[in-house]
Amino acid sequence: MSDKRDNLPIKREGFSLSQPGSLLDEALSKLPKEQQERLLGKAIEKRLDIDEEAKRADLRYQASSMDMVNTIRQVNSLEQSTKSDYTVRAEYQTASGKTNVEVKKSNNTVIIVIAIVIGIIILLMFAN
């Protein structure tokens, strides 16, 4: 039987598998100085791109939140000022994508009146 310890990595001074990034740090330390500097430049550019996109996403979130609040105010205003039907549609560009909102108010009074009239006509027809 073989010893299971044969498959384990050799422990080296100053190197630990438990520290995140230690494999990357070791690989970087073996690169020539010029390559390290180029790689560092690329890493900085990527980090700036990530930070910029995060800032844009935050701005989209803030703008869409304000727009949603305004839409809610408009719907509340419509609800208080009119008794007729209305539909409010809005689309917001949020941090994670698009959000579509649709608010409808539909008075079914006309449909109910028509149904009652038809019912009365049918009753009158069968009553004769």
Contact of 99 with 65, CB cutoff 8 Å: no
Say yes or no to pLDDT of 10 above 80.
no
* pLDDT tens-digit map of 55-70: 999 999 999 999 999 9
pLDDT > 50? residue 17: no
Residue spans of the domains in the chain: they are: 16-127
Neighbours of 39 (CB within 10 A): 13
Element at 88 (helix H, strand E): strand 86-93
Q: What's the pTM value of the predicted model, to 2 decimals?
A: 0.55
**pLDDT tens digits along 49-107:** 999 999 999 999 999 999 999 999 999 998 888 878 888 999 988 888 888 988 888 77
pLDDT of residue 6: 53
